[in-house]
Amino acid sequence: MSRRRRYALTFPGTPGGHAPQDVVVVTDTGTSGPGGYPVYADASGIVRAEISDLGEVRMLASGGHQSPQTPVHAEPLLP
């Protein structure tokens, strides 16, 4: 099965608020994460995620003192 090139990760808004959800588009980096699945990153390299072939997401810290929030949804995008 071929790797997806891009995903849209949807993160929840502020708890108790009416802020819209945040959506970040990540692209395949060509590397694999600790679980052996492809690693995707946004253009800044700050948002990094390992996404399985079943769409399961594991957020990866890109720097010290980060505690990445897990998205509520990962949507594969067309090339």
Q: What is the mean pLDDT of the chain?
A: 88
Q: What percentage of the chain carries pLDDT values higher than 70?
A: 97
According to the model, what pLDDT value does residue 3 have? 72
Condensed to tens digits (0 to 9), the pLDDT of residues 32-56 reads 999 999 999 999 999 999 999 998 9
Asked if the model's pLDDT at residue 5 lies above 90, the reply is yes
- Residue 63: per-residue pLDDT: 82
Q: What is the pLDDT of residue 2?
A: 62
Q: Please report how many Cα atoms fall inside a 13 Å half-sphere around the Cα of residue 28, on the Cβ side.
A: 15
pTM: 0.84
Q: Are strands 73-77 and 38-41 parallel, antiparallel or unpaired?
A: unpaired
Cα separation of 5 and 47, whole Å? 15
